[in-house]
Amino acid sequence: MFHIYCPHCSEYREEEEFHYHGQAHIARPLDPDSCTDEEWGNYMFFRKNPKGIHHELWDHAAGCRKFFNVTRNTVTYEIKEVYKIGEQPKVVADAVPSK
């Protein structure tokens, strides 16, 4: 059970209020029609499964219903930061020594 800081409500809430939506920063191609099958396939299906730092999209489903991003360590389950849609993470994989 995670304890997640909602950047919109500005407080920690229990995981049961949130929904997970997979890897963050998967932008929809601006011109899908001109994507090759491979490009489209990458957008649709291919996701990272890192051991360590991972950027994730969450939704405060039972709260403010806003989406936001979470940087989480998939080994320790530590949440390193939360940041709003449109913002970039401050904590990235290279900055953290691999375990």
Partner 1 sequence: MSDVKATGAEATSVPTKVVMNQLPGAGIVGQSPLHHADLETVAKNGPKQGGVKFKEQKLMGLLTLRCNAQNPEQAAVAEKLLGVALPTTPLTSVEKGDTSVRWISPDEWLIVVPGNKAFALESAFFADMPGHYSLVNVSGGTTIYQLSGANVKDVLKKSTPVDIHDSEFPVGKVVSTVFAKSSAVIRRTGEQSFELVVRRSFADYLWLWIQDASREFGLVVEA
Partner 2 sequence: MAQKNRLQSGGRVDRTKPVSFTYNGKKYQGFAGDTLASALLANGVDLVGRSFKYSRPRGIVAAGAEEPNAIMQIGATEATQVPNVRATQQELFDGLVAGSTNGWPNVETDLMGLVGKVGGKMMPPGFYYKTFMFPQSMWETYEQFIRKAAGLGRSPKEYDPDIYDNINQHCDVMIVGAGPAGLAAALVAARGGARVIIADEQNEFGGSLLSSKETIDGKAGSAWVSEVVKELATYKDVQMLPRSTVNGYHDHNFLTIHQRCTDHIADRAPNGQVRQRMHRVRAKWVVLATGAHERPLVFGNNDVPGCMVASAVSTYINRYGVLPGNELVLMTSNDNAYRTALDWHDAGRKVVAIVDSRRNPSGDLVSAARDRGINIIAGSGVIDVHGSKRVQEVSVASLSEDGSRVTGSVQKLRADTVASSGGWSPVVHLSCHTGSRPVWKDDVIGFVPGATVQQQLIAGAISGDFTTEGALSQGIKAAQEALSKLGKSAPEMAVPKTDKVVQGKPMALFHIPHSKPTSQAPKQFVDYQNDVTAAGIELACREGFESIEHVKRYTAMGFGTDQGKLGNINGMAIAAKFLNQSIPETGTTIFRPNYTPITFGAIAGRNCGELFDPKRYTAMHKWHVEHGAKFEDVGQWKRPWYFPKPGESMHEALNRECVATRESVGILDASTLGKIDIQGKDAREFLGRVYSNAWAKLPVGKCRYGLMLKEDGMVFDDGVTSCLGDNHFLMTTTTGGAAGVLNWLELYHQTEWPELEVYFTSVTDHWATMTISGPNSRKLLEELTDADVSKENFGFMDWKPMEVAGVPARVFRISFTGELSFEINVQANYGLHVWEKLFEHGAKYNLTPYGTETMHILRAEKGFIIAGQDTDGSVHPYDLGMGWAVSMNKPFSFIGKRGMGREDCVRKDRKQLVGIKTIDPNVVLPEGAQGVFDPSAPIPMPMVGHITSSYWSANLGRSIAMGFVKGGLDKMGEKVYYPLADGRVVEAEICSPIFLDPKGERQNV
Name the site residues for partner 1 (rule: CB under 8 A). 8-11, 13-14, 16-17, 62-66
Is the CB of 94 or the CB of 99 nearer to partner 2? 99
Q: How far is the CB of 58 from partner 1 (least distance, A)?
A: 15
Rounded distance, CA 80 to CA 58, Å? 14
Cα separation of the two ends of the chain: 23
CB 72 within 8 A of CB 56: yes
Element of type H or E holding 57: strand 53-59
Instruction: Kindly list the residues in this chain that would bind partner 2 in the complex (CB under 8 A).
Output: 1-3, 14, 19, 21, 27-29, 31-33, 35, 37, 40, 43-44, 57, 59, 61, 65-67, 73, 75-79, 85-86
